[in-house]
Amino acid sequence: MNHTKEQILARCNEFSKNTLMETLKIEYIDAGEDFLTAKMPVNPSVHQPMGLLHGGASVALAESVGSAASFFFINPKEQEVRGIEISANHLKSIREGYVFGTARIIHKGRSLHLWEIKITDEEGNLVSLCKLTNMVLDRKKSE
């Protein structure tokens, strides 16, 4: 990544406006050479009927942070990122507080990026373990 931590976080939080990430109140909070971290509040707006964090909200956090991380390994003027596969194992339930999604690169190819995203609670306990595959596409040239 050829960007400062502050630039990465500002860019991620800016392009989250008016999206699902804003709806879920996902905020990007940390970044490094091989990782990106975001947090999401756990409250009734992301609960399933039993009052627990909905697995779909966890997956939305994972895909958001993994896709955003891939963005910093491409040339955004010439390329785009598309998530093509995601899997999640939900290991612990949570009712309130925050969860943190940290994406770490496993494979950085020219056309595919593979990420491991660990979602943890405020005490660092593993809530979900996700794997995301992103495809890097060339942008279509304007005529």
Q: Which residue has the higher pLDDT, 142 or 19?
A: 19
Active site residues: 63
Tokens 């955004």 label which residue? Answer: 76
Closest CA to 80 of 40, 111, 55: 111
Burial class of residue 116 (count of CB atoms within 10 Å of its CB; 0-12, 13-18, 19+) = middle
- Per residue in 45-95, pLDDT tens? 999 999 999 999 999 999 999 999 999 899 989 999 999 999 999 999 999
- Per residue in 11-43, pLDDT tens? 999 999 999 999 999 999 999 988 999 999 999
- Per residue in 78-137, pLDDT tens? 999 999 999 999 999 999 999 999 999 999 999 999 999 999 999 999 999 999 999 999
142 has pLDDT over 70: no
Are 83 and 63 spatial neighbours (Cβ–Cβ below 8 Å)?
Answer: yes
